[in-house]
Amino acid sequence: MDHTSKISEYTGKFVQALGFSDQVKISVNYDKTANLYQILFQSDDPSLLIGYHGDNLFAMQSLLGLHFHSLLGEWVNLSINVNDYRERREFTLHSLADTAVSRVLSSGHPQSLPPMSSAERRIIHLYLSNHPRVTTSSQGIGRSRSIIVSPKS
């Protein structure tokens, strides 16, 4: 069932409660094929909405997901994006992975990437999953969990 109007209305109320209503333009799109609601924020000053490496963005997505579940009585798949942050961050993570691969291939030694969220680690694991010469693994606990890029044996 398409809940676009309710999701749009309550996302607007959420942004207003955060004090950003005058600074943020919201659009909600429903992708029926993927059963995914895409909530897009446009702002002249997106840094507070995004937070450090998307922390605020992912927190808003979690809060809204829980709220919509209680409001609609069902779980909805949603993705929040601010000024195309997700695409730009994915490009940065791919570049970081490519640099690590180059270092691993030239040195023959594993390379550790900086700690990152599970969502960001997943992007790198998927990006390098079919690489013929390297493999990835995660190590660490909680916020200090990071990816190790190693040469394949």
- Domain boundary assignment for the chain: 4-83, 87-151
pLDDT in tens, 43-93: 998 998 999 888 899 899 999 999 999 988 899 999 999 999 999 999 999
What is the DSSP code string of the chain? ---HHHHHHHHHHHHHHTT-TTTEEEEEEEETTTTEEEEEEEESS-HHHH-GGGHHHHHHHHHHHHHHHHHHSS--EEEEEETTHHHHHHHHHHHHHHHHHHHHHHH-S-EEPPP--HHHHHHHHHHHTT-SSEEEEEESSGGG-EEEEEE--
Q: What average pLDDT is seen over the chain?
A: 93
Distance, CA of 75 to chain centre: 19
When pLDDT is cut at 50, 70 and 90, the band that residue 2 belongs to is confident
Residue with structure tokens 């840094």?
A: 47
Task: For the domain covering 4-83, report its CATH number.
Answer: 3.30.300.20
**Whether residue 20 has pLDDT greater than 90:** no
Is the CB of residue 23 less than 8 Å from the CB of residue 44?
Answer: yes
Tokens of 94: 């791919």
d(CA 124, CA 147): 8
Is CATH 3.30.1370.50 the right assignment for the domain spanning 87-151? yes
Residue-level pLDDT at 128: 98
| pLDDT per position as a tens digit, 87-103 | 999 999 999 999 999 99
- pTM for the full predicted model: 0.79
